[in-house]
Structures are given as structure tokens and as C-alpha cells.
Amino acid sequence: MTFVNINDLRLASKKRLPKLLFDYIDGGSLSEETHRRNISDFSKLRLRQNVLGEYAEPDLTTEYLGSKHPLPFMLGPVGFLGLYSRNGEQKAATAAHAAGIPLCLSNFSIASLADLRRVTAGELNFQLYLLDDRTLCEDFLSAAESAGVEKLFVTVDTAITGIRERDVRNGFRSLTHVTPKLFASMCLRPRWLLEMGPGGMPSVRAVAHRNDFGKGALEQAANLSRRIDKRVSWKDIEVLRDRWKGKLIIKGILAPEDAVSAQNIGVDGIVVSNHGGRQLDGAMSTITALPAIRAAVRPDFSLMLDGGVRRGSDIIKAIGLGADGVMLGRAYTFGLAAAGKAGVEHTIETLRREITVTMTLMGVNSIADLKKRGRDLIIEDERLTPTKDESLFQTE
């Protein structure tokens, strides 16, 4: 099968993964409204087409979170990549680094930062959940420092795990070992089983030394999510701000007032995110939330966006509306699950090509130009937004 776009990779990953894993990646919470809107709200925006400018290959280099990168997107934190493909974290990191972009390693990963350092010298970021066990959090931070991580993303939209009905039905997170039913569903996916089976059940390296988290990724995953601290508040972010000397980025902001609080506390940036529609179902899509957040914070305050990005044009729209860069979630995870490292490379290349073609046809020569002209290039579909009150661009 040739993978023409990200949806082809999604369909291929569905064929390759046991149902329990595909549903864990693909699903959202409750009715999955926010998950769907993250994707579909990009379609409410139109791109300005300017012609007969002098042709130049668009320059995709840009700066986000204080560093220059050859592409306006990076790979965001996705848990348990090593369950979808053997050494999945290593494959994603090396594919990202070959393209010159960073990977942010999820706190809930099979491989540790040290494992990744053995295979790549590229830019690694780390995503942290504040667990009730702060000693363990301190271990994570020390490991990040030893691995040369400069940017720490702290995820704050998971005070409690959203109800993901597909996972409830499949028993994900309540299963602690491979049951006969789970084994039967794995046998329906022989290519995945042949790759993953021989090494046995992977475990989460970062908590492998902790017996209280159990053994094997399934049990450790269930325990890790149970241990996320429900009482995390801005005070904890202040403590973390003092503790972490590198860049600190808050992931999971959707309201302008929270973005302003983050800025006031002195973090280096935020990710406008609703966790890919996996947490508060009914929350705004991220692309809809972005303009008001951009308007509320300082122009130089770093904004990243994730959620629903499946096309290069989605990335152009997010940057046009004020994001400095975009983070991929499911898009590259489908690539990894479908075809390993080559699948992640294919995701990156597909989006790079789509961005290039779209910018060329828009008559935009560089991401810098896109950032400068911004909202002039992104037009709301008037039929979908009949009154000003419902405008996506409403900033108050």
C-alpha cells in the first residue's frame, strides 16, 4: 500500500495493531466531540491565494521555543510508542532528528531518555506529569538533565483521566496482564505479534526499578495514570519554575486567562492543547481557541499548538493564526504503527510536501512571511460564521 496522506497511515495502523492499541491511539473521551472538532474546525478556515508573485521554493525554517528548526512542526509527547512498534521511541526520535526536528519524549514511555541518547544526539525534549510521588518526579528531572534536555513540557490537563469509552470497552488500563481474550486479539494481528512477541511484554524503563508500579507496560501504565497528582496548582508550577533551569513549557492550555497566568508565572511558553480531545469532551477545538490566546499574551510569548493536525495546510492555518510552531500527536503515531521508522519519516515528509505545495500556491515564500502576514492569509468561511459573535477570531 502506498501512503498518500496521513489518513492512509491511520488506516494501515488500524490493520496492523491489535484493536486495544489502535483504539487507545485513535480514540477520544466520551462522545469524542472535541476530538472530531479538533480536526474539522481546520476546515472552517480558508487560505488566501495570491498568484504571479516571483516563484521561489518556500523557506520552511522557523523559530519556535527559542530555537531555529528546518520545519514548523515537531513530534509531541505520545505515551507508550514502544508498544506500537518495537523500540518505537528510538524509531520516532531518530526519524525526527534525521529531519532536524525535536521529539518530546512522553513521561509514559517504554524507552528512557538514556535509551534514546544511545541512538541519537539530536534535540530531545521531555514531557513530565506531576505525580503524587515527587521523589520520583525529581528522578525524572535528574534523568532529563543527564540526557541534556533543555525544554521541559509539563502537562496540566490531566487532573483526572478523561473517560475514553473505547478503552473502557477494551479494558485498556484495567488489564494488567495479557488475558486469553487480549492474546486472541493480538493473534489477529500477526505482523505486529511477530515484531513485538519475541521480546515479551515491554516495560516502562523509567519506573522499572519501582516494584509498586508493577511489572510490564500494561500494569505500569494503569498505575502511572492513577498516580498523576490531582491537586496540582499554579503553586506547583512556581516550584517547578524554580527547580528547572532550562525552558519550561506548560502543555494543555485552552483559555486565554490561563495563558496569561502561565506567562505571568514566568514559563517560557505554552502548548494550546486539549490533549487531542482525550480529556474534557465538549472543550473548544485548539484552532478555535488559538486566536483569543494569541491576542491575550505578549506577542513574543511562545505558543505551540497541537490537536487534529493531519494536513500541511492545518499547520499553515495554525501559524497564520499565531502559533509559533505545531506539535504532532496521532499523525506520526499512525506512521510509526503502520511502518515503524519509515512510517514516521513518511509522516514528516508528507507534511513537508503538503506545506511546500500549499505555500507555493498561496504565494507565500517563507514561514517568516506567513508569520508576518498572519491572519490576512487565513480567512473565515462566512457561511459557517454568520454573526460576528460566533467569529473564530473573537478575542474577548
Q: Catalytic residue positions? A: 275
Q: Taking the complex as a whole, how short is the minimal distance between the CB of residue 188 and ligand FMN, in angstroms?
A: 20
| H or E segment and range at residue 196 | helix 190-196
Options 82, 162, 307, 322; binder of ligand FMN; rule CB under 6 A: 307
Q: Which three cell numbers stand for residue 55?
A: 516563484
Options 12, 25, 74, 217; binder of ligand FMN; rule CB under 6 A: 25
330 binds ligand FMN (CB under 6 A): yes
127 binds ligand FMN (CB under 6 A): yes
273 binds ligand FMN (CB under 6 A): yes
Contacts of 82 (CB under 8 A, 6+ apart): 88, 89, 109, 110, 111, 202, 217
C-beta of 273 vs 288, nearer to ligand FMN: 273
Per the listing, cell 527547580 goes with: 243
| H or E segment and range at residue 339 | helix 330-362
User: Which one of 61-69, 72-80, 229-237, 354-362 is the stretch in contact with ligand FMN (CB under 6 A)?
Assistant: 72-80
Q: Taking the complex as a whole, how short is the minimal distance between the CB of residue 115 and ligand FMN, in angstroms?
A: 16
What separation in angstroms does the CA of 195 have from each of 89, 95, 345? 15, 19, 19
269 binds ligand FMN (CB under 6 A): no
Contacts of 112 (CB under 8 A, 6+ apart): 143, 205, 206
Q: Which three cell numbers stand for residue 8?
A: 492512509
What separation in angstroms does the CA of 57 have from each of 109, 317, 359? 38, 19, 9
Q: Taking the complex as a whole, how short is the minimal distance between the CB of residue 274 and ligand FMN, in angstroms?
A: 8
Q: Compute the distance between CA of residue 388 and CA of residue 66 in angstroms, rounded to an integer.
A: 35
C-beta of 10 vs 341, nearer to ligand FMN: 10
Options 37, 97, 189, 275; binder of ligand FMN; rule CB under 6 A: 275
- Reduced to 3 states (helix: H, G, I; strand: E, B; else coil), residue 101 is coil
Angle at which helices 19-26 and 180-187 cross, to 10°: 90
Options 18, 58, 72, 79; binder of ligand FMN; rule CB under 6 A: 79
88 binds ligand FMN (CB under 6 A): no
DSSP state of 44: G
Over the window 141 to 180, marking each residue x when it contacts ligand FMN by CB under 6 A and - when it does not, the resulting string is: --------------x-------------------------
253 binds ligand FMN (CB under 6 A): no
Q: Taking the complex as a whole, how short is the minimal distance between the CB of residue 204 and ligand FMN, in angstroms?
A: 11
Q: Taking the complex as a whole, how short is the minimal distance between the CB of residue 129 and ligand FMN, in angstroms?
A: 7
Q: What is the DSSP string of 245-314?
A: -SEEEEEEE-SHHHHHHHHHHT-SEEEE--GGGTSSTTPPPHHHHHHHHHHHS-TTSEEEE-SS--SHHH
Q: Which residues bind ligand FMN (CB under 6 A)?
A: 24-25, 38, 76-79, 106-108, 127, 155, 251, 273, 275-276, 306-309, 328-331, 333
